[in-house]
């Protein structure tokens, strides 16, 4: 059995909040626990927020804003967080971030901050964020804990958003079954499972967008040991059949 | 708390096996339970299998096979299950199935069947499969049970496979949070969550490719009531920014 345990009772997170310690003290940890932490609180604790009224939109941002009816300051922030615009249409911007993540608005988000005056940005290095939070949690738990920083992304082909892993610490995000055989002795071929994304999606069931639950412990799942990074989940352009 | 419970003790599934009844009798059901059933056993129970030595490959399949080093009979089956080839390169075929699902090899799979002599095909109508299995399970449980038929798909942009919902019965696969506000009163905008895909991905943690676990019960998740279909998860081409 696997259990998905909501981490509750975490105070409002602001820049400098000891988020790892708060999460660590909210749970009676068990060896093998994986904790999935929502990007929003990680970004807030790291001070990755900008106030819209401090942003001077570029000419391009202003033109985009006129054509889409969106706030030019928000578009300016999205452009600053992007290294490539994958697609831009109907007021939607699908961006590739500096990390190589492909998502709407480069992960810039006005919800769950302060009512629309400020936007959160993705952590500068979400793998490093996961690593730092793991150290903070381990100082309390006394043993290794796996950490995922997750965000809620849309996807090609399919409707609806799902949580994916943007930062990882303490395990391998991909589980490589190649070389193994099925129960009939037939070799498994292209089977590399995205464990970290499935863990994040499972936590997404706990998060639900409006709930005050910033983290979820997954208990009972055996991770692949390793020092993996979420950036391994980003498919290289030359290996991506969809680009 | 949400629990992910493996459904174990299911005999080897063959065409005509009473899969729903077997799953129903393996679990002490509770109201609100969602059961995720792996496509492979659903296809087997429905007899959606073909023996490779009964397939006459077309000229096109033979040419593809020569260029990719793959079995021409397998390619022929993949072509018959496809309504569109999205991309074809390096021996990989990304296909759009008759259902509108986009996946490798149109869901045709040689693993976990009989050691490579036969391939499984996706169910003809996975939503109808889910509905039928729900009726079979409810005959035993005595109350409504939500059913998902899941398969393991690759994705654009990201490495690794995840389980997604290809059939659904008893609830709405999409959870529409538009019109709701966050805890700061800011309206949530584009937030439609793919509940069914997150449930499938959570079950994917239980399935792991080589384990003899054909189904997983998710207990403690509150579904959105409705008579939804997994086909709602397929994004219409004219709404898909990635096509």
Confirm whether A241 is domain-assigned: no
Asked if B150 and B66 touch (Cβ cutoff 8 Å), the reply is no
Calculate how close chain B gets to A147, using CA atoms only, in Å. 16
Cβ distance B198 to A202 less than 8 Å, yes or no, reads: yes
CA distance B58 to chain A (A): 25
**Residues B205, A195: C-beta atoms closer than 8 Å:** yes
Q: Distances in Å between the alpha carbon of B50 and those of B166, B205, B228?
A: 21, 29, 30
- Give the separation between CA A145 and CA A6, rounded to whole angstroms: 16
Note the pLDDT of residue A210.
63
**Chain centroid to CA B33:** 18
**What mean pLDDT is reported for chain A?**
93
Residue A243 lies in a domain: no
Q: Based on the domain organization, do A108 and A92 belong to the same domain?
A: yes
Residue of B nearest to A179 (CA): B210
Q: What angle do CA A109, A115, A121 make, to 5 degrees?
A: 25
Write out chain A residues lying below 8 Å of B89, CB-based: 241
The chain-wide mean pLDDT, for chain B, equals: 93
In this structure, the answer to whether residues A75 and A166 fall within a common structural domain is no
Q: What is the pLDDT of residues A63-84, one digit of tens each?
A: 999 988 999 999 999 999 999 9
Confidence at B225, pLDDT banded by 50, 70, 90: very high
Quick one: angle between helices A195-207 and B195-207, nearest 10? 130
- CB distance A209–B180 less than 8 Å? yes
**A155 and A222 together in one domain:** yes
Whether residues B182 and B100 fall in one domain: no
Chain B residue with minimum CA distance to A219: B3
- pTM metric for this prediction: 0.95
Confidence of residue B243 (pLDDT cuts 50, 70, 90): low
Q: Which long-range contacts (CB under 8 A, 24 or more apart) does B223-226 make?
A: B223/B32, B223/B34, B223/B146, B223/B170, B223/B171, B223/B172, B223/B195, B224/B171, B224/B172, B224/B174, B224/B175, B224/B176, B224/B195, B225/B171, B225/B172, B226/B171, B226/B172
Tens digit of each residue's pLDDT (9 = 90 or more) over B127-155: 999 999 999 999 999 999 999 999 999 99
* pLDDT score, position A39: 97
Q: What is the DSSP code (8-state) at residue A224?
A: B
The lowest-confidence range among A191-205, B44-58, B173-187 is B173-187
Can you read off the two tokens belonging to residue A19? 């988020």
Last residue of a domain, one of A65, A92, A120: A120
Question: How far is Cα B35 from Cα B148, in angstroms, rounded to an integer?
Answer: 6
What domain count does chain A have?
Answer: 2
B192 and B214, same domain (yes or no): yes
Name the percent of chain A in helix, strand, coil, to the closest 5: 30, 30, 40
Burial of B238 from C-beta contacts in 10 A (0-12 / 13-18 / 19+)? exposed
Written in H, E and C, the secondary structure of A124-185 is CCHHHHHHHHHHHHHHHHCCCCEEEEEEEECCCCECCEEEEEEEEECCECCEECCCCECCCC
Instruction: Say yes or no: A127 and A179 in one domain.
Output: yes
Closest CA to B48 of B125, B124, B153, B126: B124
Residue A112 placed within a domain: yes
- In whole angstroms, how far apart are CA A160 and each of A41, A115, A186, A241, B172? 22, 24, 35, 22, 12
**Domain ends where: A76, A105, A120?**
A120
Cβ separation B233–A115 shorter than 8 A: no
Residues of chain A found within 8 Å of residue B161, distances taken between Cβ atoms: 190-194
Contact yes or no for A143/A160 (Cβ under 8 A): no
Mark whether A42 and A110 lie in a shared domain. Answer: no
Structure tokens at B156: 């654009």
By CB atoms closer than 10 A (0-12, 13-18, 19+), residue A54 is: exposed
Band (pLDDT 50/70/90 cuts) for residue B183 is confident
- CATH code for position A56: 3.90.1660.10
Output the pLDDT for position A138.
Answer: 96
Residues A149, A93 share a domain: no
Which domain CATH number covers B214? 3.30.1330.100
End residue of a domain, out of A120, A137, A169: A120
Confidence of residue B29 (pLDDT cuts 50, 70, 90): very high
pLDDT of amino acid B42: 98
Q: Does one domain contain both B115 and B230?
A: no
Q: What is the pLDDT of residues B99-117, one digit of tens each?
A: 999 999 999 998 888 888 9
Q: Six-digit token pair at A183?
A: 């129960």
The torsion defined by the Cα of A25, A28, A31 and A33, in degrees rounded to 10, comes to: -70
- pLDDT per residue rounded down to tens, chain A (243 residues): 999 999 999 999 999 999 999 999 999 999 999 999 999 999 999 999 999 999 999 999 999 999 889 999 999 999 999 999 999 987 889 999 999 999 999 999 988 888 889 999 999 999 999 999 999 999 999 999 999 999 999 998 999 999 999 999 999 999 988 777 777 777 766 689 999 999 999 999 999 766 689 999 999 999 999 999 999 999 988 877 766
Whether B207 and B140 share a structural domain:
yes
Residue A242 lies in a domain: no
pLDDT at B74 over 90: yes
Q: Across the A/B interface, how many CB contacts are shorter than 8 Å?
A: 235
A102 at interface of B, judged by CB pairs closer than 8 A: yes
Asked if A192 has any chain B CB less than 8 Å from its own CB, the reply is yes
Nearest CA in chain A to B166: A158
* pLDDT reported for residue B205: 97
Instruction: State the Cα angle at A160 between A105 and A122, rounded to 5°.
Output: 30
Structural domain boundaries enclosing A223 = 3-48+123-235
pLDDT at B198 over 70: yes
Q: Tell whether the model's pLDDT for residue B178 goes beyond 80.
A: no
3-state secondary structure chain B: CEEEEEECCCCCCCCCCCHHHHHHHCCCCCCCCEEEEEHHHHHHHCCCEEEHHHCCCCHHHHHHHHHHCCCHHHHHHHHHCEEEEEEEECCEEEEEECCCCEEEHHHCECCCCCCCCEEECCCCCHHHHHHHHHHHHHHHHCCCCEEEEEEEECCCCECCEEEEEEEEECCECCEECCCCECCCCCECCCCEECHHHHHHHHHHHHHCCCCCCCEEEEECCCCECCCCCHHHHECCHHHCCCC
Question: Which residue carries 């985009």 as its tokens?
Answer: A64
Q: Tell me: do A86 and A196 sit in the same domain.
A: no
Answer whether A198 sits within 8 Å of B193, measured CB to CB: no
B98 in the same domain as B169: no
Residues of B with Cβ-Cβ distance to A212 under 8 angstroms: 183
Alpha helices in chain A (DSSP H): 19-25, 39-45, 59-68, 72-80, 126-141, 195-207
């Amino acid at each position: 059995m696997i259990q998905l345990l909501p981490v509750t009772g975490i105070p409002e997170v602001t820049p400098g909040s000891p988020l790892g310690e708060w999460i660590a003290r909210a749970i009676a940890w068990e060896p093998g626990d994986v904790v999935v932490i929502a990007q929003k609180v990680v970004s807030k604790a790291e001070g990755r927020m900008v106030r819209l009224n401090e942003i001077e939109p570029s000419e391009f941002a202003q033109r985009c804003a006129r054509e889409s009816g969106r706030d030019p300051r928000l578009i300016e922030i999205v452009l600053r967080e992007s290294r490539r615009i994958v697609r831009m249409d109907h007021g939607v911007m699908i961006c590739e971030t500096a990390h190589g993540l492909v998502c709407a608005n480069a992960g810039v988000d006005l919800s769950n901050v302060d009512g629309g005056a400020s936007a959160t940005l993705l952590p500068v290095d979400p793998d490093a964020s996961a690593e730092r939070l793991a150290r903070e949690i381990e100082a309390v738990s006394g043993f290794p804990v796996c950490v995922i920083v997750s965000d809620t992304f849309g996807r090609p082909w399919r409707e609806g958003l799902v949580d994916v892993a943007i930062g990882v610490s303490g395990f391998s995000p991909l589980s490589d079954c190649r070389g193994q055989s099925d129960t009939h002795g037939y070799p498994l071929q292209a089977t590399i499972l995205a464990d970290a994304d499935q863990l994040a999606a499972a936590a997404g069931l706990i998060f639900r967008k409006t709930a005050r639950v910033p983290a979820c412990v997954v208990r009972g799942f055996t991770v692949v040991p390793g020092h993996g990074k979420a950036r391994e989940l980003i498919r290289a352009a030359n290996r991506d059949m969809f680009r």
